[in-house]
Amino acid sequence: MSSTAHALAARPAAPRAAARVLPSRPRASPSFAERATTSGASPGRGAVAVSARFGFGSADDAVADEDAAISRRTLLAGKALFTLGEAFVFPWATEGATRPPSAATADLTPFSPAWLTSVLFVPTEPEAKAAAKAALLRGEALAAQGEHLSAIEQFEFVYATAPTEYKMCQRAGLDIAKSYKKLSSKPGDAMDRKAEDAKGVVWWWGRGTRWPGWYIIAYLSARNVYFTAKEDDVGAFTATEGLAVLVPIWFGLLFALVTYGLPDY
């Protein structure tokens, strides 16, 4: 055997290659509930918070959500009913309570069909309307001459003859107040109080169905109901709303007021 062979036989065998070391499996990240406990809160509270966040709440959470939805629907229904009241019930009730009394409406039950019909514009017979207008002109002529007591009698005849003629009666009412004021000798006496009462009659009737304020308030309330239902807290006014809604409403109200009587301003 050669020296080379002896050397190879004497050399120890090379060690087996070390097995490849696989990377250790990373530690699983803590769950959402576990992470919630790192701030010191109990695991139960963290789990409930996470469950509520992702829509897996407890039965109590579901009941609370349902109660909130019912409360919201109740609120919307209440607002809608109040809007109807502002648009119809309140102005009609004020009209019925403050218009001049007449034999045709004295025995009507409020909000009955006949009463509701009477609140709408009822034309006066031509003869009665002509007589009331003549009395109004006579009264104004007498007031100009200083005969205020006689003038007041003529103005009151207007109320009795044509109680549904709004513009004529309002003019007569203001004339009554002026005549009583002329008959007053000092503030607070009997004639002065009658003058204030006459102006009050005119003012209150002016707050009936012909007062635009009712419908402006009702429109704003209706907008609030609409945007609340849409969960829109801003409810921004748009040009489309102005042209498509407000302009027709405004012209409609203007036509009705000019035709059936402008308020006292």
Contact predicate 221/86, CB 8 Å: yes
CATH architecture of 118-205: Alpha Horseshoe (1.25)
Nearest to 95 by CA among 114, 80, 110: 110
**Dist. CA 229–CA 254, nearest whole Å:** 30
- Averaged pLDDT of the chain: 77
Q: How far is CA 126 from the centre of its chain?
A: 41
* pLDDT, tens digit, 9 for 90 and up, residues 38-73: 444 444 444 444 444 444 555 555 555 666 666 777
The domain segmentation of the chain, as residue ranges, is 118-205
* H/E run at residue 141: helix 126-144
- DSSP of 171-183: HHHHHHHHHHHHH
**Dist. CA 178–CA 172, nearest whole Å:** 10
* pLDDT, tens digit, 9 for 90 and up, residues 9-38: 455 554 444 444 445 555 544 544 444 444
Mean pLDDT of 1-16: 48
**Dist. CA 48–CA 18, nearest whole Å:** 50
Q: How far is CA 232 from the centre of its chain?
A: 15
Q: pTM, whole model, 2 decimals?
A: 0.63
Contact predicate 206/169, CB 8 Å: no
* pLDDT, tens digit, 9 for 90 and up, residues 207-259: 988 888 898 899 888 888 888 877 766 567 677 777 777 788 777 777 776 66
The first and second tokens of residue 22, run together, are: 């696989």
Question: Percent of the chain at pLDDT above 70?
Answer: 67
The first and second tokens of residue 180, run together, are: 């009583």
